[in-house]
A and B are shown apart, each in its own frame.
Chain A
Amino acid sequence: MQRRELLKAMVAAGMLPSAGLLSAPARAEVTRYEGPVYLVLFASGGWDVTSFCDPKDGLIQPSGSGSAVRINNWSASEPIQSAHGIDYAPFADNASLFTNHGNKMLVLNGLDAQTNAHSAGVRHVFSGRFADGYPAVTALAAAQHGAGLPLAFLSNGGYRETAGLTSFSLMQDPSTLGNLVNTNEPQWGAHQYHRPESLGLMDQYRQARMDRLQARATLTRRLSQASEYMENSAAGRDQLKTLNQYLPETSAPTVDADGNWFPLLRQIQLSLVSMAAGLTVAADVVHWGFDTHANHDSEHRVALRNLAAGVDYLWQEAANLDSAHGTNLTGRLRVVIASDFSRTPWYNDGAGKDHWPIGSAVLMQNGGFSRAVVGQTTATHDALGLDPNLEASETGTILTPAHFQTLLRHWSGTNTSAYQQLFPLDDSGLDLRALV
């Protein structure tokens, strides 16, 4: 059976939620979503975790080099720090980040992306395999929990493959967003374009039109899929009005402390607003600036500083919304921070660092996890295997993106038999589920 047919069969059998394109039209009244919400922060370009959550303060002798060199320049002046059981590098704004938010974290070190090519790394880390076609966990969560929600999956970039399960939305400009909340309301003049009774007739026509279109068995899939997307989109549109209650009076800035373009806070703000409104299950936000092949220390310092600012803003803003609206976002937030891979444990000739497959990922939730850190690497940042108790072992299993994604699916309630059948992952050797 083909994947699509399998999907249809599963929907028909009630094994899959009906948010996807293959589902019956989402005509029923949908209530606001109040379950866990998932936010994936993509540190684009390959972050240096040895200057972040897997700190290295030693020396290394790069292949072909005659002498040992520092893995990180910061180690010449400051030792590795620790907070809430997490070792971190005394670099950028790591101290405030780990001190203030380390109690919410689970750090996964030694995550082996098994590549140093950007696109392959992103695909592998965020889908669990190198080949195309597997959905991002945010897309899975939106499809699983967001049936009928108009903005179930928000994406600002990064890996956002949906595998046909749902569609993503980009939400950027809050000032214009207001015009889209009630499209029957003119910006000035009369109260409405169409009377409710007339709109009722028009909506009846639209529904019948969709039924006719979708009954045409000979239509190409592309057109019939497009009509299904359209129908689902239209069905969810009325719920956008809820956003009005949560839209902020002040938009988050889009420049950083140095005045440079930095849209992460705005992305986070709008994602939280939509989550608070009960319209969004999952969101991808993106932070650029980590691909520091030259001038690594200065450029990575800025990138990590801004990343810390983003994480801090995320929890602050969630608390603000909770305070204003009683939305309990703080308790519902599930946050993932990850990157393509990491960077070499040495500097190149241009004071930069190139690509390195061994990296880390960070999970966050209010109240933290049973453990603060899982996974280890050597002093020169090679991955160590893990035994069944998740302790480092020379004969253990190296942590791979497949293990990581299995964990995320479990955490997000998407590790269903249906999805396992559709998108199987080779996660043999390690079971991380007890961590969350």
Chain B
Amino acid sequence: MALKGPMKTKKEFIPMRVLHKPLMVLLGLTLLGCAQDFGDVGDPVDLELDRTLSCSETDAEFFSRAVWPTLAGTCSSCHAASQVGSDGPALVLSSSEADAYQDVRQYIAEHGDTFVRKPTLNGAGHDGGRLLEVDSDQADDFLEMVQRVTQPIEACEDEGVVARELGFDDVVNISASRTVRKSAILMQGRMPTSEEVTTAQQSDVGLRTVLRSYLNGPVFESWLKNSANDRLLTRKYFTGQTEAQEALAADWYLYPGLFDRTGAAFDAAEAAELSCVSGGGQPAQDASEPACQVAWQKRQLANVTYTETQRAIAEEPLELIRYVVTQDRPYSEILTANYRMMNPFTYEIFDGESWTSAYDRFNAEDWRPGQLRRYQVAWNQTIQSAGYDAVPAAGLLSSPVFLLRYPSTDTNRNRARSRWTYYYFLGVDIERLAVRAMDAEELKNVTNPGAEGTSCFGCHQLLDPVAGAFQSWGNDSQFLARNGQDSLPSVYVAGDEYHDGDQWYREQLAPGFNGVDLPVSAPFGPVSGYNDGLQWLGEQLVADPRFATGTAKFWFPGVFGREPLLAPSEPSDADYAARLQAYQDEQALIATWGENFIASGFDLKTLLVDMMMSPLYRGEQLTTADSHRQQVLSDLGLGRLLSPEQLDRKLTAVLDVDWKRDWQNDGQLLEDYYMFYGGIDSDGITERPEAMNSLMYSVVDRMANELACEVVLQEFWPGMPRVLFTDVTMDTDPTTEAGEASIRQTINNLLWRLWGVSDAEEQEALWQLYKAIYDQRIAWREDDDSNGGTYVSDFLGYSVQWDDYRDDEQLDENCEVRDYDSNDGVDVSLNWDGIVWQDPENVRAHLGSYYNPQQSLRPWVAVLTVMLTDIQFVTE
């Protein structure tokens, strides 16, 4: 239960209190009723409240996991409220777990460790006899419950661990439990379970196991695709200004089925609408005329077809990555796959033959491999007529949308594609090799930068051969664009250099990679042994050791929220040495990850876990005050500003709510404020800010203000489950010792969930804020405006526009009442009709937690608001 690593096991820190006592045999005892008196309590064993309590598990969660099963299974037959008469036991258990939890807290507050002594007959009599052995796990759990109530945690022991990686031994990483929490939020969109925390605390192997287990499921898949798109930017054709179909239709005859589905869907919608209108109606979901309902439905289907088709085309490369990773296939397949990913919206327009099992035409999540068969190399000339079964595939390299995103020209000759291939898949930024002034005369006179002897050659000897491997692909992603023969521009073909059958420019370096020529049947002719040069190139790329380190660099921003450090290029800079050190240390880490990645058979999850174990992900503190070292490590570890996608997921994970209007598909962070909060459109805006600005802060502030009160109202609403405010009720009185203890414990839970920390100083500060707000409101109450003071209402929300007696808007306090889930059996809504104000229970039944004359909830609104606007909430 300790969060301090390495974890102490339960047996290590639990006192062996009774091992030397003769065991009292429980076996054979049979409960005959609830009024038996087994008075032989024997010599009591001292109970020591010395556990190291876990901050990753709240008291309520601990109760639910460790105490409630025993109570419900063993004790409730006598202690259930329905069984207890006026002379019954002091412990009366409500039927619901949440209420029973409060019952137990109350009992322990009044009776202390009697909660354990009774069922164990350890110094106290028990009408039910000995139900638990005093050295049993159950009794031990009961004892921990006593400790949790009577000795609430000020701060959990959750110390970090010194990083072991070479060059980072003065970095203190966050603990295993905090690493697990961070990863669960980012990769799973939820808080970790106590079992996961426990496993992670046991050893690095355990931590790795838990981290790896997070690399599955829809949130992880969403992270994969978002991170990949931040690199590849192919969503430009979904979220940018050019739609995917329109982009592919530049040479419209290439894809004969491109508009088949969308065209048919819109034709059907228009025909149905015409029918509806001609009958005097208007299309509507609830139209009285059936034809008009049909028209409305067909329009919805047409819209879905259109939208999902754009998305499917734009996300095809991202889906290939997702497929390879989630199917645990070698990651190298992203460049060697001889298939293309399709869902029903693209399968029907591009393939139509490959899938062997049935599918739902409108299931956009049904992604499967397919082939680009419905393709024409020229007007009325199918790909099959050119001798191919389908357009050759070579993973991402041959993706139409990838090639579109990185187009070429007749003079660029695929060099840009070559540049991005090096950058994305080998981690080599060729443009950085040219970080120096060039000779203007040379720039003017050199007509072939790939010719030896020029200063251009240094870069172009790398660029040009790879560009040649893209030889089959035209400027806008067409395959064999010139009538199925090649993709050479007609002006070149008409020139002297061209020979019949050539596939590439004769004056350029021969297609190839890394000193190896593309196998061809004739010089500059077609590739030999492959259907396309890209298939050969893909094999070469993944066989290069730089593919492993390049993959680590590709995923670097996704995992760490920043680019890899650049090698400093200006030795005269004051911080040159510091930057060089940081760069070298980081490169060493990347090299190690690369080796492990290769050894794993290109298992991306192995690589991601390596990255998540590193100080680049976990570093929080430095053991050195040396400014030189601090400069070196200035971009490391915690403090990564979450993207709008990540903050949206974190909200759901820690609050269990979305910041979303009822009519919205996605949360406000992903719709209304997406671009303000650092979103990208993959088109003109392609880089995410790494630092907060005032507009972004305003987004967070609005989010906190809109959410805090409605979340508090939800959590305290009768019958609703508790996620945040686990240890308090509306009646918890902060002026009592017990009340303060419960509030502090709840703050601990909030600190763990929202910030991932355990911190006595912060607990104290938040408690002081709670108390200050509470005292403020009580003072208002006591010094009401009828006495010349300030009015405060009995409700969470108040507006003078509803009040005939007041008009000062500064008295307003907005609190939205929303029923997040209308199917959960709890109606969260206000019913102002027929309230009997003299009867608090009646008022509660009408207004739920909106009615709070105790003034205990607004302080929580304030606490939650400041925590949601804190740097440790918006970063990880």
Judging by beta carbons under 8 Å apart, are B621 and A220 in contact? yes
Q: How large is the interface on B (under 10, 10 to 19, 20 to 34, 35 or more residues)?
A: 35 or more
Instruction: Report A-chain residues with C-beta under 8 Å of the C-beta of B436.
Output: 115, 130
Are A209 and B866 closer than 8 Å at their CB atoms? yes
Which listed residue (B410, B698, B809) contacts A349, Cβ 8 A? B410
Number of residue pairs A-B, CB distance < 8 angstroms? 305
Q: Are B769 and A382 in contact (CB under 8 A)?
A: no
Q: Does B628 contact A (CB under 8 A)?
A: yes
Q: Is the CB of B570 within 8 A of A131?
A: yes
Q: How far is the CB of B395 from chain A (nearest CB, A)?
A: 26
CB distance from A281 to the nearest CB of B (A): 13
A6: nearest chain-B partner, CB-CB: B574
The stretch from A81-89, A179-187, A303-311 touching chain B is A179-187
Contact A288 B684 (CB under 8 A): yes
Within 8 A of A (CB), among B623-643: 623, 625, 627-628, 630-631, 633-641
**A261 closest partner in B (C-beta):** B241
Residues 171 to 211 of chain A near chain B (Cβ within 8 Å): 171-173, 176-177, 179-181, 183-184, 186, 189-198, 201-202, 205-206, 208-209
* Closest chain A CB from B793 CB (angstroms): 11
Q: Is B798 an interface residue (CB 8 A)?
A: yes
**A61 to B575, alpha carbons, bound, how many Å?**
47
Q: Which residues on A sit within 8 Å (CB–CB) of B82? A: none
Of the candidate stretches B14-22, B357-365, B441-449, the one touching chain A is: B441-449
Residue B799 lies at the interface, judged by CB distance under 8 Å to chain A:
yes
Is residue B870 contacting chain A, with contact meaning CB distance below 8 A?
yes
- A237-B410 contact in complex given A120-B431, A131-B570, A176-B676, C-beta closer than 8 Å: no
In Å, the complex CA distance between A193 and B811 comes to 10
B566 at the interface (CB under 8 A from A): yes
Chain B residues lying within 8 Å of A176, measured Cβ to Cβ, are: 672-673, 676
A226–B411 CB distance below 8 A: no
A297 and B529 alpha carbons, distance in the complex (Å): 42
B409: A residues at CB distance < 8 A = 293-294, 350, 352
Contact check: which of B568, B640, B816, B866 meets A206 at CB < 8 Å? B866
Distance between Cα atoms of A119 and B429 in the complex (Å): 11
A residues 329-373 near B (Cβ < 8 Å) are 348-350, 352, 354, 356-358
Residues of A within 8 A of B672 (CB): 176, 179
The answer on a CB contact under 8 Å between B438 and A116 is: yes
In contact, B798 and A222 (Cβ under 8 angstroms): no
Among A191, A206, A218, the one with the most B-chain Cβ atoms within 10 Å of its Cβ is A191
Q: Does B631 contact A170, Cβ atoms closer than 8 Å?
A: no
Given contacts A130-B436, A130-B437, contact A221 B692 (CB under 8 A): no
A284 within 8 A of B: no
B633-A220 in contact (CB<8A): yes
- Chain B CB within 8 A of A403 CB: no
- When chains A and B are docked, how far (Å) is the Cα of A192 from the Cα of B808? 12
Q: Determine whether the beta carbon of A220 is less than 8 Å from that of B412.
A: no
* Chain A to chain B contacts (Cβ below 8 Å), 18 pairs: A4-B634, A21-B691, A133-B570, A170-B685, A189-B799, A192-B812, A192-B813, A197-B776, A205-B765, A213-B871, A218-B625, A220-B633, A223-B638, A224-B639, A225-B634, A229-B692, A233-B696, A237-B694
Contacts of B684 on A, CB cut-off 8 Å?
A: 156-157, 263, 286, 288
User: Does residue A114 face the partner (Cβ distance < 8 Å to B)?
Assistant: yes
Closest chain A residue, CB of each to CB of B671: A176
Tell whether B778 is near chain A: CB-to-CB under 8 Å: no
With contact pairs A4-B575, A206-B869, A293-B412 given, residues A115 and B637 touching in the complex (Cβ less than 8 Å): no
The answer to the question of A167 belonging to the interface, with a C-beta cut-off of 8 Å to chain B, is yes
| CB-based contact B776/A180 at 8 Å | no
Q: Does B509 contact A (CB under 8 A)?
A: no
Contact with A along B629-660 (1 / 0, CB 8 A): 01101111111110000000000000000000
Given contacts A131-B570, A209-B765, A222-B638, contact A190 B812 (CB under 8 A): yes
Those of A119-158 within 8 Å (CB) of chain B: 119-120, 129-133, 150-151, 156-157
Q: How far is the CA of A63 from the CA of B625 in the complex (A)?
A: 59
Point out the residues of chain B lying under 8 angstroms from A288, CB to CB: 684
Query: In the complex the two chains form, is B875's CB within 8 Å of A189's CB?
Result: no
Neighbouring B residues of A218 by C-beta, 8 Å: 172, 621-623, 625
The answer to whether B437 touches A172, judged by C-beta atoms less than 8 angstroms apart, is no
- Which residues in window 549-607 of B have CB below 8 A to A? 566, 568-570, 573-575, 578
Please determine whether B866 and A198 come into contact, CB atoms closer than 8 angstroms: no
A6-B574, A167-B692, A170-B675 given; 6 more Cβ-contact pairs under 8 Å: A3-B573, A150-B693, A193-B813, A209-B866, A220-B171, A350-B409
Contact with A along B788-825 (1 / 0, CB 8 A): 00100000011111000000011111111000000000
Answer yes or no: B318 CB below 8 A from chain A CBs.
Answer: no
Q: How far is the CB of B504 from chain A (nearest CB, A)?
A: 15
Binary contact track B761-788/A, C-beta < 8 Å → 1, others 0: 1100110110011001000000000000
Once the chains bind, are B689 and A168 in contact (CB under 8 Å)? yes
B768: chain A residues within 8 A (beta carbon): 205
A208 touches B765 (CB 8 A): yes
Check A245 for interface membership: any CB of B closer than 8 A.
Answer: no
Contact A220/B866 with A226-B692, A230-B871 known, Cβ cut-off 8 Å: no
Counting CB contacts under 8 A, is A234 at the interface?
yes
Query: Count of A residues near B, CB < 8 Å?
Result: 97
User: A1-43 CB contact bits vs B (8 Å, 1 = yes)?
Assistant: 1111110000000000000010000000000000000000000
Complex interface bits, B471-489 against A, C-beta within 8 A gives 1, otherwise 0: 0000100000000000001
Decide yes or no whether B32 CB sits under 8 A from chain A: no
How far does the Cβ of A42 sit from chain B's closest Cβ, in whole Å?
12
Question: Given A150-B694, A357-B440, does the pair A191, B809 have CB atoms closer than 8 Å?
Answer: yes
Q: Given A2-B575, A3-B575, A348-B410, are A237 and B701 also a contact pair (CB < 8 Å)?
A: yes
Task: Identify A226's interface contact among B575, B628, B695, B871, CB under 8 A.
Answer: B871
Per the bound structure, the CA–CA distance linking A131 and B672 in Å amounts to 38
**Which B683-732 residues have a C-beta within 8 angstroms of A?**
684-687, 689, 691-699, 701-702, 705-706, 708-709
Please tell me if the beta carbons of A180 and B431 are within 8 angstroms of each other in the complex.
no
Using CB atoms, name the residue of chain B closest to A150: B694
Q: Are B569 and A132 in contact (CB under 8 A)?
A: yes
How many angstroms from the CA of A124 to the CA of B448 in the assembled complex? Answer: 24
Q: Does B374 contact A (CB under 8 A)?
A: no
**B604-627 interface with A by 8 A CB criterion:** 619-623, 625, 627
Task: Report the Cα distance A218→B621, complex, angstroms.
Answer: 5
Is B751 an interface residue when CB atoms closer than 8 A count as contact?
A: no
Q: Which residues of A contact B434 (CB under 8 A)?
A: 115, 117, 120
Q: Tell yes or no: A70 within 8 A of B by CB.
A: no
Which of B438, B695, B809 is A192 in contact with, Cβ under 8 Å? B809
Bound-state Cα–Cα, A68 to B8, Å? 84
Q: When the two chains form their complex, are residues A223 and B620 in contact, meaning their CB atoms are under 8 A apart?
A: yes
Contact pick for B875, options A170, A186, A223, CB 8 Å? A223
**A189 CB to nearest chain B CB (Å):** 5
Q: A168-B693, A352-B410 are in contact. Are A63 and B871 (CB under 8 A)?
A: no
Interface membership of A227, Cβ < 8 A: yes
List the 7 closest A-B pairs by CB distance, nearest first.
Answer: A150-B694, A223-B639, A222-B639, A350-B410, A293-B409, A114-B437, A190-B799
A301 contacts the other chain (CB 8 A): no
Q: Which of B172, B676, B813 contacts A172 (CB 8 A)?
A: B676
Chain A residues whose CB sits within 8 angstroms of the CB of B676 once the complex forms: 170-173, 176-177, 180
Q: Indicate if B858 sits at the interface (CB-CB under 8 A).
A: yes
**Chain A window 280-299, contacts with chain B (Cβ cutoff 8 Å), 1 for yes, 0 for no:** 00000010100001100000
Question: Within 8 Å CB of B171, what residues of A?
Answer: 220
Given A194, A220, A230, A349, which contacts B622 in the complex, CB threshold below 8 Å?
A: A220
Mask of B659-679 contacts with A, CB within 8 angstroms, 1/0: 000000000000011011010
- Are B631 and A4 within 8 A (Cβ)? yes
Any chain A CB within 8 A of the CB of B492?
Answer: yes
* From A201, A232, A239, A294, contact of B772 by CB (8 A): A201
What are the residues of chain A within 8 A of B393 when measuring CB–CB? none
* Contacting residues, chain B, for A132 (C-beta < 8 A): 566, 568-569
B435 contacts partner chain A, Cβ-Cβ < 8 Å: yes
Interface residue from A62, A115, A173, A217 paired with B437 (Cβ < 8 Å)? A115
